[in-house]
Structure 1
Amino acid sequence: MGLNHADENAPVAVVRRQYLASAAGDLEALRATMAPDVEWTEMAGFPLAGTYRTPAGVTGNVMEKLAQDWEGWAAHDDTYVVDGENVVVLARYTATHRQSGKPLNARVAHHFTVRGGLIVRFEQFVDTALVRDAATAG
């Protein structure tokens, strides 16, 4: 049974598309999942901590920088909890830091708010100490 257009705009489908685009390194497809006024927040203590706006602002300040600093950065989505326009995804980050050579394997939670088939808000929750340790030489 194929998805109809309404299903493609369902919050869970939009969020899943975001992970698939990210995994494929397709920044154009990734930007297409975000509202023009998206607010994307990386957690305090994370190397890229802050709130970024606009799809180009998000990919330029988050995904492109992660690719520069980390080899094979990936967010593996495994559990979706959906409540209306809210989608919480439990996932795992894996990567190797390019400078330290250390691996990262950390659990993470992502909270997306989806309206009209687009991500309007994102907030990341992660053990930032694990990320910092992996990025630190020694």
Structure 2
Amino acid sequence: MTEFAVSTAPADVVRRQYLASAAGDLEALRATLAPDVEWTEMAGFPLAGTYRTPDGVTSNVMEKLGRDWDGWTAHDDNYVVDGENVVVLARYTAVNKATSKPIDVRVAHHFVVRGGLIVRFEQFVDTALVHEAMTP
């Protein structure tokens, strides 16, 4: 096992979360989340709200994204780390299954990592571009 795979450094934990998400490995993704995680999808986003527990996050966010979008991927481009805070500048790409319209939208994610687990997440995204892809 590589050092990265077991590292509790905040950026490494967050990177494992993105890799698990891209691979569709919900078990590995849940392993990066604290039991009392608070995961907030931005107001105006189709899945807006705050979800708790690793199962709550994957069932209310990742599984629904997979149901509604083909190839939903969060591309983690740049990391800014300050102690337990990790801000990732990224982009979402996908194709909406109902409309066949693609998205390629910039996003920022703020993670708080403690004890090797993500305890808090907040999403910032241009929700209008996401809704545009969902509108026939």
Query: Fold-level match, TM-score > 0.5?
Result: yes
C-alpha deviation, 1:3, in angstroms: 2.4
Structure 1 segments, 4+ long, off by >4 Å, are none
> Percent same amino acid among aligned pairs?
77
User: Quick one: distance in 1 between partners of 2:82 and 2:75?
Assistant: 21
**Are 2:83 and 1:84 aligned?**
yes
Unaligned runs of 5+ in 1: none
1:99 partner SS: coil
Which one-letter code corresponds to 1:120 in the other structure?
V
C-alpha deviation, 1:131, in angstroms: 0.2
2:66 partner SS: helix
2:92 is aligned to 93
1:129 is aligned to 128
2:108 is aligned to 109
2:3 is aligned to 3
Mapping of 1:29-68 within 5 angstroms? 29-68=28-67
**Are 2:69 and 1:70 aligned?**
yes
User: Quick one: distance in 1 between partners of 2:66 and 2:120?
Assistant: 22
Aligned residues of 2:4 and 2:12 also touching (Cα < 8 A) = no
- TM-score with structure 2 length normalisation? 0.97
Which one-letter code corresponds to 1:66 in the other structure?
L
Unaligned runs of 5+ in 2: none
